[in-house]
Structure 1
Amino acid sequence: MKSKYLFPAWCSLFGYLLTIPGFVLGYLNVMKNFEISGFGFKMREKDGFFQKGFENFTNELCVFLVVIGLILIAFSKSKNEDELNAKLRLNALYWAIMIYYGFYFIWVFLTVIIGEIPFFSGHMGELNLFTPLLIFIFRFYYLKHIKNESYLISEPKFLPHQPFKRIGIIMSLTCLIGLIVGLAIDLQSDVKDSALAIIYAGLIIGLLLWAFSKNKIEDEMVMQHRLESLQMAVYLNYGLILIGTLLLYSLSYLYFLLYAEFSLLLYFVLRMEYVNYKNVRLLNRIEGGISYEE
């Protein structure tokens, strides 16, 4: 197993040069209400209830600096990019996803029990943008430090193929359809909001079961596909997040952030299923050719 789709090693330094100023600027913007003067343009004649007449892009700049910087730090080649690094990346990616969604559901549970949590409730969307990348970076470099040259690293633990993968697929598809239908129905009520919240949580849980369940055959090649699919899902997800950050505002952006909560898992499982489908077709053609020759 080896890592693919990585940036050159020098990009890691460039990532730090983007991330640190991005966090500093983000802190000033969120905590001190600092905005770069004139950094934006007038989009409306006057302020609306959720929309400002003049859109300042300081917050968007923070997101771009931090996200791009963290991606470069996380996915730049090491000096010695070998099989060990690939195993560490896969381990760190899975830990990042598990810890992130663990914290997410804890936050949701606490919000339901005790109400809004100061600061976090108002900024959870922004925090969620870079939290998985931060967890991955900490986990990856922690493993590199403690494992050093040892190739004895435990692989991520997966749920049994059955029944969890089937349950995950059924839950994901059912909840996704339910979410689309629920949003399409023009009905404002507390019952609808509660139902959508439950369906939304069910969708994330279903995708987690789907993503963390074993394939029928779990070998080195499948682990390689998992690593590649996770990396591609991260690139695609954050690429779309940056585009959304640039083009969407106010309520549209908030809805987009809700989509971003599960989109990484969605991209991952879709790519894994596509790769598995291609491999099965290739295997069938090979077996068919052997039978024909015999």
Structure 2
Amino acid sequence: MKSRFLFPPVFKVIGWILALPGLVLGYLNVEHNFRFSFLQWGRPETSTIAPGTFNFTDEAAITMVIFGLIFVAFSKRKIEDELVSRLRMDALYWSILINSLIYFVLGLVSDADLINYNICTPILIFIIRFNYLLHFKKDTFVVNTPRFLPYKPWRILAVAVAIVSLLVIILSSVFEYNLISEGMLDVIYYTLFGSLLVWTYSLNSFEDELTMQHRLDSMYLAVLINYSLLLVATYAVYSLSFLIILVINLISTLLIFVVLFSYYSMRNRLKEEKQLLGGFAI
């Protein structure tokens, strides 16, 4: 199992140069409403595209944090071997799990202000966990295998609940929430959140070394894709609509992961079936 899609080692330094000022700027902007005047930009009232005045200090902070932390987290080390790849898998496993559990609980208590910090917490948890493993566990040459829930009944139940919940949310959005009440929609959202979490952390019907590689690739790509979409939304969506984006961001990494992992698993299964049929043909 090898880590793929990594940046060159020099990007780690660039990442810290971007991330640290970005985190400070983001904190000052969120907690103290600090803004740079030179990042002020406005459209005339006659403009047909969101007329008004905008300040892009928060967008600048988010951009610096996202690029910086991604570079720090996913830059190659001087020595990239099987052990380091397993440490990355362990760190990704725990970072997504812990972050999801934290915000699942916070969402239940309706602490909306803390949702802003979900932008950086998954990668921060990964960086802390990965460096802890590198400095305190690498010399032991022992990496605990990540634990997952059994395929039955957890995976089967989670898939069914997630699909139904997602369909209900989509239909409610199409019909402008006329199908169900807003309170019930919140319940369904967190049901989707929980089912995606169980889906992510439950076993396939068949598991091997290649499955773990697919899981690592899917987790890594899910994080990158999710942050890319969030970065686009940062500049394309404003005001209360961006709060909705942040709420969606709580589950989007899990959703992207299950799509990617399901694709990898299906592709691998079809490949094996093709090889099996080819063997019979011979």
- Normalising by the residue count of structure 1, what TM-score does the alignment of the two structures yield? 0.90
Q: How does 1:229-268 map to 2 (within 5 A)?
A: 229-268=218-257
SS in 2 for 1:149: helix
**CA displacement at 1:101 relative to structure 2:** 1.5
Residue in 1 that maps onto 2:4: 4
Aligned equivalent of 2:87: 88
Check whether the contact 2:103–2:115 (CA below 8 A) recurs between aligned residues.
no
Q: Deviations over 1:199-231 (max 9, x none)?
A: 100111111111111112211111111101111
Question: Does structure 1 conserve the Cα–Cα contact (< 8 Å) formed by 2:104 and 2:193?
Answer: no
What SS is found at the alignment partner of 2:139? Answer: coil
Following superposition, the deviation at residue 186 of structure 1 comes to: 3.4
Structure 2 contact 83–141 (Cα < 8 Å) conserved:
yes
What residue number does 1:56 align with?
55
State the shift of 1:42 in Å. 1.2
3-state SS in 2 of match to 1:41: strand
**1:164 equivalent in alignment to 2:154:** yes
Residue 63 of structure 1, CA deviation: 0.4
Aligned partner of 2:167 in structure 1 is 177
Question: Following TM superposition, by how much is the alpha carbon of 1:185 offset from its aligned partner in structure 2, in angstroms?
Answer: 2.9
Which residue of 2 is the match for residue 227 of structure 1?
Answer: 216
CA–CA distance in structure 2, aligned partners of residues 188 and 40 of structure 1: 39
Describe the superposition over 1:117-159 as per-residue Cα deviations: whole angstroms up to 9, x where unpaired.
Answer: xxxx33x232011111111110110111111233211011100
Q: Distance in 1 between matches of 2:249 and 2:72?
A: 21
Further displaced range: 24-33 or 56-65: 24-33
Query: What is the one-letter code of the residue matched to 1:57?
Result: F
Q: Residue 182 of structure 1 contacts residue 192 of structure 1 at CA under 8 Å; is this kept in 2? A: no
- State the AA in 2 paired with 1:36: F
Q: CA deviation at 1:196?
A: 0.7
Counterpart among 105, 109, 126 of residue 136 in structure 1 = 126
Aligned to 2:144: 154
**What corresponds to 1:97 in structure 2?**
96
Which range is displaced more, 130-139 or 256-265? 256-265
Which amino acid is the alignment partner of residue 92 of structure 2?
A: L
Equivalent residues in 2 for 1:170-209, closer than 5 Å: 170-186=160-176, 192-209=181-198
1:187 CA displacement: 5.1
1:66 pairs with 2:55 = no
**Deviates most, 277-286 or 6-15:** 277-286
Q: Percent identity?
A: 39
Instruction: State the distance in 1 between where 2:259 and 2:206 align.
Output: 18
Q: Which runs of 4+ in 1 moved over 4 A?
A: none
Distance 1:54 1:133, change over 3 A: same
What is the one-letter code of the residue matched to 2:265?
A: N
| Partner amino acid, structure 2, of 1:273 | S
C-alpha displacement of 1:68:
0.8
| Contiguous gaps of at least 5 residues in structure 2 | none
> Does the CA contact (< 8 Å) of 2:103 and 2:250 recur in 1?
no
The answer for the alignment partner of 2:28 in structure 1 is 28
Task: Describe the superposition over 1:11-56 as per-residue Cα deviations: whole angstroms up to 9, x where unpaired.
Answer: 001000001110121222223322111313213629xxxx882110
1:73 Cα deviation from its structure 2 partner = 0.5
Q: Tell me the matched-pair count.
A: 279
User: CA RMSD for the aligned pairs?
Assistant: 1.8
User: In the aligned structure 2, how far is the partner of 1:238 from the partner of 1:288?
Assistant: 41
Task: Provide closer, same or farther for how the CA distance between residues 52 and 19 of structure 1 changes in structure 2, counting only shifts above 3 A.
Answer: farther
Counterpart residue type for residue 170 of structure 2: I
SS in 2 for 1:85: helix
